[in-house]
Amino acid sequence: MSSDRFCCGVTFIPLREMASESSEMVSSLLFGESFECIDSIENVNNAVWHKVKCSHDGYEGWISNEALELSLDLEPLHRVDKTTIVNNGEFTGLTLSPGSFWFEEHSQSKGMNDIDFLNQFIHAPYLWGGRSVMGIDCSGFTQIYKGFKGRAIPRDASQQYTLGVEVSFEDKLFGDLAFFESDTGNIHHVGIVLNDDYIMHASGEVKIDKFIRYGIESIQTGAPTHRLKSIKRI
């Protein structure tokens, strides 16, 4: 790896909107994901921060100098599809969330089907900018799932919406992405279509709800929660 390219060396690194710990988290890097440093500054508290660009999706954000110092100069190559706690070597105790990368092929990931992969995230708490089982947002969830399927897609729901081909509600299939709109018509939510008119999505937590022609209906309350904009096959 070049001197300005690094790999995340912890479970995850938050990417901040601005160079401050109090700034909003806009995304995150998982263990083994690579990034490029494109700028460095000293903030008002005299702390050094680095603007980075993620290799897998081009997303940009700020990380602390402490996070950079925990980065790796050896790039892991194999995707991990099963939540794993490492039990050997210097990384003993490290939690690898699905979508992370490791140094060698991970036998537990072989042959995993879609449902088993997705079910690892059930009840994961909603976290704006999150991409792991410790906390995840709606588009982080769909991005990690499509990565499992071998398809790299952008970070945000509005970016993901520009991909693929639109399909009707009647023609939807397992694994399609359903996009939902705000009152102003903006894309503000995305979920993964399941079988039998159900959807899995991150809203409060990762959960399964009813997917009806006009949007999402809460299984718990029966109330509509999100208004359908489009279904895309990506």
Can you state the percent helix, strand and coil of the chain, rounding each to 5? 15, 40, 45
Whole-structure pTM value: 0.94
Q: Which of 50, 188, 201, 226 is catalytic?
A: 201
- Assess whether 138 carries a catalytic annotation: yes
Fold of 5-69: SH3 type barrels. (2.30.30)
Identify the segments of the chain with pLDDT beneath 70: 1-3, 106-110
The domain segmentation of the chain, as residue ranges, is 5-69, 78-109, 114-233
Q: Beta-carbon neighbour count of residue 5 at 10 Å?
A: 16
Do 190 and 199 form a contact (C-beta atoms < 8 A)?
no
Confidence (pLDDT) at 89: 86
Q: What is the pLDDT of residues 203-227, one digit of tens each?
A: 999 999 999 999 999 999 999 999 9
Q: Which of 7, 8, 54, 138 is catalytic?
A: 138
- Assess whether 56 carries a catalytic annotation: no
Confidence (pLDDT) at 2: 45
Q: Which of 50, 56, 188, 189 is catalytic?
A: 189
- Assess whether 123 carries a catalytic annotation: no
Confidence (pLDDT) at 77: 87
Pick the CATH number of 114-233 from 3.40.605.10, 3.90.650.10, 3.40.50.720, 3.90.1720.10: 3.90.1720.10
Distance between first and last Cα of the chain: 31
Angle at alpha carbon of residue 68, lines to 57 and 58, rounded to 5°: 10
